[in-house]
């Protein structure tokens, strides 16, 4: 049973990049850190969980630079994919190359891996509303 009927979705508060996919990025550590700082919705988790104490929060465990949970997985459907910022970011905030080309297995892993959590977030949300 839900503590509250409210479910908050907080997809861009994480700064985590799992070590096993760090090699996908072509930026050095300082450049990647700067991109994460620019693209993260800082303090949103704290703001929403403090404001809606009874709400059920659905959080992304990884930075949106790893996989953006609010984008369409199919680049043909995702408008931002045209500039390299689809569900899998290929370009950074200055349109610079962010990561190397990924093969189809790596892309699939980003959506299904427990490290990146897309499937986990979907399951988390479904469990909270049942």
Domain ranges of the chain: 7-111
Tens-binned pLDDT, residue by residue, of the chain (130 aa): 445 667 788 889 999 999 999 999 999 999 999 999 999 999 998 998 888 888 877 888 899 999 998 888 899 999 999 999 999 999 999 999 999 999 999 998 888 875 565 556 566 666 766 6
Q: Which of 59, 67, 56, 60 is closest to 127 using CA atoms?
A: 56
Rg (CA), the chain: 15
Whole-model pTM over 0.95: no
């Amino acid at each position: 049973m839900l503590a509250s009927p409210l479910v908050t979705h907080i997809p861009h508060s994480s700064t985590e990049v799992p070590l096993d996919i760090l090699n996908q990025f072509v930026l050095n550590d300082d450049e990647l850190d700067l991109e994460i700082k620019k693209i993260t919705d800082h303090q949103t988790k704290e703001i929403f969980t403090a404001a809606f104490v009874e709400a059920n929060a659905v959080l992304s465990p990884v930075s949106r630079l790893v996989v953006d949970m609010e984008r369409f997985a199919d680049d043909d459907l995702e408008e931002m994919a045209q500039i390299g910022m689809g569900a899998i970011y290929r370009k950074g905030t200055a349109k610079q190359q962010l990561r190397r080309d990924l093969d189809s297995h790596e892309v699939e892993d980003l959506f299904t891996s427990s490290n990146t959590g897309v499937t986990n977030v979907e399951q988390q949300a479904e469990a909270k509303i049942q």
